[in-house]
Amino acid sequence: MRMKGKNVIVTGGASGIGLASVERCLQEGASVVIADLEGSDGQDQAARLDDRYDGRCLFKACDVTDTAQVDRLFADSVAELGSVEAVFNNAGIGGICPSDEVTDEEYLKVIDINLNGVFRVARAALRVMYHQGGGSIVNCASILGVFGQSQTAAYTAAKGGVVNLTRTLAIEAAPKGVRVNAIGPGYIDTPLLEALDDEMLQGLVGLHPIGRLGRPEEIANAFLFLASDEASFVTGAHLLVDGGFTAGKS
């Protein structure tokens, strides 16, 4: 039970990679807060998982673009659970549009959720973890945090920012007992890909030397490692979990 007695917050925890990460932590003995938007499936998922596992599973509504909501998420989680040992900074959205056509509103929305939101959550987590003397923050970056891709200016800018933000936070936080790392997923088989036709889907599969898309639980396993004491000497890392996608592109 690698997370026995630990309390975890997962943003974007109501579906996909986030939900898989919530369940893996519960399987390893943690209590977990699902943080997601009001109106998401988070409340139902938390109730379902709370009945299944020994650790508590709670839902807290949180929009990561709102500093007050983020700060309240941590204050309420500490009030109910007593501490926060690990955070998966996972909330994010996609965005595909030619750079000469993307509007200010579209560009800034992606940046505010995928980069500024990561900072808001990390800042709130650091304040709690500094006070309690330790913890682990894992930011969800991307393969597109290390190289470019056409028509993804806002997304690649945000994810590249997450990678370097992670390094900077890791340097600051290490002397205070807090580790900060990032995960760079390849293309993962989640509901976000359901809108793609078969040709496009197979095209994505072909970009991964391992011959398939990733599964949400494979990213969850990487989060579990980085969040746990098994990764006690790992900080400032960007762990690529991408089926070899970036191996020939670096």
**With b meaning 16 or more CB within 10 Å and e meaning fewer, what string describes 169-184?**
bbeebeeeebbbbbbb
Q: What domains lie within the chain, and their CATH numbers?
A: 7-241 (3.40.50.720)
Tell me 114's DSSP state.
I
**The pLDDT of residue 192 is above 80:** no
Mean pLDDT within 50-77: 97
Q: Where are the beta strands (DSSP E) in 114-234?
A: 135-140, 178-185
**Residue 190: its pLDDT value, please?**
83
Q: Is the dihedral of CA 28, 228, 126, 39 positive or negative?
A: negative
Active site members:
155
The residue written with tokens 């650091």 in the block is 126
Angle (CA) 19-225-143 rounded to 5° is 70
pLDDT band at 250 (very low <50, low <70, confident <90, very high): low
Q: Tell me: the pLDDT tens digits for 34-51? A: 999 999 999 999 999 999
pLDDT band at 140 (very low <50, low <70, confident <90, very high): very high
Tell me 188's DSSP state.
B
DSSP run (H or E) holding 231: none
pTM (predicted TM-score): 0.96
